[in-house]
Amino acid sequence: MVKIAYFDCFSGICGDMILGAFIDLGLESSFLKKELEKLNLSGYNFDVKKATINQITAVDVYITVNEEQHHRSLGDITTLIDGSTLDRDVKELSKKIFIKLAQAESKIHNIKIDDVHFHEVGAVDSIIDIVGAVIGLKKLGISDVFCSHLPLGSGFVNCAHGVLPVPAPATVELLKDVPVYSTDRKQELVTPTGAAIITTFAKQFGDMPHMKIDKIGYGAGKTKSVYPNLLRVFLGSLESND
């Protein structure tokens, strides 16, 4: 039986929301931490807590950097992943996501892909989010991913490049050919990392396929909102035509 996942992104998507939803679906946080230790990456804490958002229980993942980090290029991150003892499939899919993210940044900033640097806290968040999401996908045995249309926020966001419009230019670049819709929410709903992960994972964007649901997982977002800042992931199997 083919196991599938449907990502219901009514409130957007980012890396730690994906990790939270996967843990809520049954991915053991202790297993995830042990796998992530296979990377030669230090200076961070990985914490998992339960959260209640709009009366819905979810898993909230916190990644905090506790040591000074240097900026990392795509080559640095590729070397880090290749030098780890992670499974080959995890390495290849993780690198594919990073390459996609770097290609978007390269185009937006008009620089060579090898000159793209991941500035935010030495790319620790992105490394943990991306590699962790791939580990979760494999461990949960998910063969195919489907995803809802993606909501886009508005306003501006501060980052290493200065003040940028929301959705961020790299996010928009990654979401080419993906069905999206605008909202009146003055916040970033889809991050570049979230966009890179879901556009690599997803086989199709749109309505939920005919499926039998086994589990539902909720991953918590960090931004305070009157809306439920959650990612909901349905895990199950495609409904048989028999």
pLDDT tens digits, 129-148:
999 999 999 999 999 999 99
Neighbours of 82 (CB within 10 A): 11
Q: Round to whole Å and give the CA distance between 152 and 184.
A: 9
Domain span holding position 97: 3-238
The pLDDT-based confidence of 121 (bands split at 50, 70, 90) is very low
Q: Residues of the chain with pLDDT > 70: what percent?
A: 96
Q: Which of 155, 153, 203 is nearest to 178 (CA)?
A: 203
Domain count for the chain, please give it.
Answer: 1
Residues 6+ apart with CB under 8 A from 49: 59, 60, 62
pLDDT of 211 strictly over 90: yes
SS3 156: strand
- Of 67 and 183, the structure prediction assigns the larger pLDDT to 183
- The pTM for the full model equals 0.95
The pLDDT-based confidence of 160 (bands split at 50, 70, 90) is low
Of 18-22, 35-39, 63-67, 89-93, where does mean pLDDT reach its minimum?
Answer: 63-67
36 close to 130: Cβ distance less than 8 angstroms: no
Q: Positive or negative CA dihedral for 228, 229, 234, 235?
A: negative
Neighbours of 176 (CB within 10 A): 9
Region label for 11, one of left (φ > 0), alpha (ψ between -120 and 50) or beta (otherwise):
alpha
Q: Positive or negative CA dihedral for 155, 56, 140, 72?
A: positive
91 close to 82: Cβ distance less than 8 angstroms: yes
Residues 6+ apart with CB under 8 A from 136: 18, 19, 22, 23, 27, 32
Instruction: Respond yes or no on whether the N-terminal peptide bond of residue 165 is cis (omega within 30° of 0).
Output: no
